[in-house]
A = this chain, B = another copy of it.
Amino acid sequence: MAKVADSYFKVDPWKVVEEGFDPEYGLTAESVFSLGNEYMGVRGYFEEGYSGSRLLGSYFNGVYERQKADAPGYKGIVQETEFMVNSLDWLHVRIRAREEELNLATSKVSDFYRELDLQSGCLTRSFAWETKQGTLKLCFERLISMVHSEEAAQRITVSSEDYQGELKICIGLDFDTVHGGDKKLWDIPERKAEANKCYIKGRTKVTGMEVESFCHISGSFTEKWSATPVSEDDKAAVEYSIQIAKGEKVILEKKVINITPLAKNSQTGSAAWSRLEQMSFDGMLAESKSWWADVWNKSDIEILGDEENQQGIRFCISQMFQTYHGAIEGTNIGAKGLTGEAYNGNAFWDTETYCLPFFLFHDKQAARNLLYFRYATLDEARKRAQALDCKGAFYPIATISGRECCSLWQHASLQLQASTAVAYGIWCYEKITADTSFVEEYGLEMLIEISRMLATRGDYNADHTRYGYYCVMGPDEFQMMVNQNCYTNYMGRFTFRYTLEVMERMKKQAPESLAKVKAKVGFDEKEGHDWQEKADAMYIPYDEERQIFEQHEGYFELPHVDVDAIPVEEFPLYNHWSYDRIYRNDMIKQPDVLMFLLLFNSSFSQDIIRKNYEFYEPRCIHESSLSPSVHSILAQQLNRPEEAFDFFRFATRMDLDNYNRNSGEGLHTTSIAAAWMNIVYGFGGLRSDGEMLSMAPGIPKQWDGYKFRVVYGEEVLCVEVDRKSVRLHTQKGGEISMKIYGQICKIAGETMEFAMK
């Protein structure tokens, strides 16, 4: 782990603060100061225009464009990809003081201050603009509603210190955004502007998706103000001309309703206009504070004695909820959330593997919605299976609408873990929420189709003694076209068995639902026998003597690379090594064997986990931001507290400290989810894959204590850990049977205390 923090923001337990503006950190700050509410997201860009380096990014979940892929035309290789398209700049404003236009790249500015308040969700920025004619103080506030997904607001306050004269503020909606640095992708079929109001409609050229925005502007208007509607090019706005006197203060407040095809309340036209008149910035702020208060009451993690990580984990939790909380149907979690266009806004298997646990332990409905996305896109997965000469359903490795969006066949055609992760997600959902309705209504259909794929994508070896997957890429993306990948086979076997188990159980518990699903998918009992046979014959490469799983057939024979000897300037390897060279040795990019040892942790002895950790950890180069977290959790389990803390820190402050030097492109959303796992699964030692919930908390020596809560069944389990003991109780007084340090206990309303082990 040669990664080093690049600290910039001020540490504060409830805020992210930037004092003074350094353009070098401009892009990173834009990502970190992103706001989002699952439906829409906006980077922390300077809304008044800025000629320095930046990414003016404004995104709507599920609003995507399509493009031809740069890929050879062989069967099964994706020829068109979809990407979340950079969209409307609804924060658009331009400010002129006489002949000077405000632009932080060129204007003279002092006292720059910016803060994201994690308790209100409000982003505030203020500074003094020293124009040639005198100084103006500006304050920009912005807010995206967490309650009404389509709504957002902006407030601009300008106070004159010693400036006198004309001020021009053009405020409105602008579709002049570029995607990927240079592509203009919006047609503007409609726009209009009148005094204090404007409206615009954009339409993507290929997918024809429409985004409509209604905007209402109010302010401290006086007779000295004049308003000119501006409706030109890609813009609908109102330009205010104001005569400002020394010491005077003016305020402009913009409220918007953005309607996309995914809008829950698509109140357009007059409904939108009247709704806008009811809204106010302060009203929305109060609503937002209350929403966030609920979140922190339910989901806060407190860390005593470590302010940096306290800030880090709260930033992560806040980002998780901004990215997703089950507010709307049909959305998923992009690799960068709604904070950037890298990875094309595509969702990966990270959703089920890294993000789902957070929601499973906080909001059952959000978790269910997330899984439902896979059901809603099952038909696309069926088509994808066909394209790959398989039966059943093959889930995409990267997607927005359910279609595969990865045009690199070596990922899209070889990685089966997106499909098995869906099965794993369904299993976790059942296990943690104790809600069997999802699997009965939706889950089984997916499980059957995934099993069908697994039964046709795999093969028996030459002498027909071993079943498994040939030419795959496991979670470790530095081993390509391998055979009998341990992870893939393990997950394949799990999926077959879980599918059969669900069917067996439903025979008794939900025979009608079972019959319905079987009829729908045309299930043949012979298929079940086939899956049973294949599961039983599934080959899990394992060295009995050393008790080490072999990542894939032949892995132990591979040339060894000393990952610590690779010069730091060669990272990332994708950019500095010949593409094929990456794959020619035993170096791994991210956990593969260790991954399933975590996912099915309770199935393996501490001894086996230790041996495999000791073998694979030194071979891992952590070129995935998801890698350290798994290592942190397992290191804690194996009583390697220093290593655990080291890996932990990296994920928790990944973006605040820009560890990977690419936070400017957007936040590492799934690593953010992993940061939560690091504390709850890692230090807290929570495990949910066994017969019952279990916990074995430890505490890093750097901390005095920590607290967290998880929702489990109908209860909230409250956990407090200090250096000597662990205290647990349930919030509502209900009983939870669970293991603490291996001992079965019943946790209830009364706090139970356990000595730290």
Contact = CB atoms under 8 A, between A and B. Distances in A.
Contacts of A581: 76, 388-389
Contact of A409 (B75, B414, B580, B585): B580
A4 B316 CA distance: 66
B481 A74 contact: no
How many copies the complex holds: the figure is: 2
A318 interface: no
A388 B70 contact: no
Interface in A426-471: 459-462, 470-471
Contacts of A413: 578-580
B584 A470 contact: yes
A9 interface: no
Contacts of A225: none
A575 B461 contact: no
Interface centre among A560, A580, A583 (most CB of B within 10 A): A580
A408 interface: yes
Contacts of A481: 480-481, 583
A181 to B, nearest CB: 15
Interface string A68-104: 0011101111000000000000000000000000000
Contact of A72 (B70, B389, B558): B70
Contacts of A409: 579-580
Nearest to A408: B72
Nearest to A414: B580
A580 B471 CA distance: 7
Nearest to A481: B481
B470 A388 contact: no
A480 B473 CA distance: 13
Contacts of A576: 75
Tell me whether chain A's interface is mostly helix, strand or loop, or mixed: loop
A455 to B, nearest CB: 14
Contact of A470 (B75, B389, B414, B585): B585
A388 B583 CA distance: 13
Contacts of A554: 483, 553-554
A754 interface: no
- Listed residue (A76, A480, A554, A586) with the most chain B CB atoms within 10 angstroms of its CB: A554
Contacts of A558: 461-462, 470, 483
Contacts of A70: 70-72
A559 interface: yes
A459 B584 contact: yes
A221 interface: no
Interface residues of A, number: 43
A556 interface: yes
Interface in A527-579: 553-554, 556-560, 574-579
Contacts of A585: 459, 470
A579 B76 contact: yes
Nearest to A388: B578
Given A72-B408, A584-B471, A578 B480 contact: no
A579 B75 contact: yes
Nearest to A75: B578
A342 interface: no
Contacts of A583: 470-471, 481
A71 B74 CA distance: 13
A580 B72 contact: no
A74 B483 contact: no
A227 interface: no
Contacts of A387: 578
A388 B556 contact: no
A489 to B, nearest CB: 14
Nearest to A468: B559
Given A470-B558, A557-B553, A583-B481, A76 B462 contact: no
A280 B589 CA distance: 70
A143 B413 CA distance: 51
A389 B583 CA distance: 13
Most buried by B among A76, A390, A553: A76
Contacts of A580: 76, 388, 409, 413-414, 471
Given A70-B71, A70-B72, A389 B471 contact: no
A572 to B, nearest CB: 11
Nearest to A469: B584
A558 B484 CA distance: 10
Contacts of A560: 462
Contacts of A575: 75
Interface string A54-77: 000000000000000011101111
Given A388-B580, A470-B559, A471-B584, 9 more contacts: A70-B71, A75-B577, A75-B578, A75-B579, A388-B578, A462-B558, A471-B583, A480-B481, A483-B558
20 contacts: A70-B70, A70-B72, A75-B575, A75-B578, A76-B579, A76-B580, A414-B580, A461-B559, A462-B556, A462-B586, A470-B558, A470-B559, A470-B585, A471-B480, A471-B580, A471-B583, A481-B481, A481-B583, A483-B558, A554-B554
A-B pairs, 3 with minimum CB distance: A459-B559, A76-B578, A481-B481
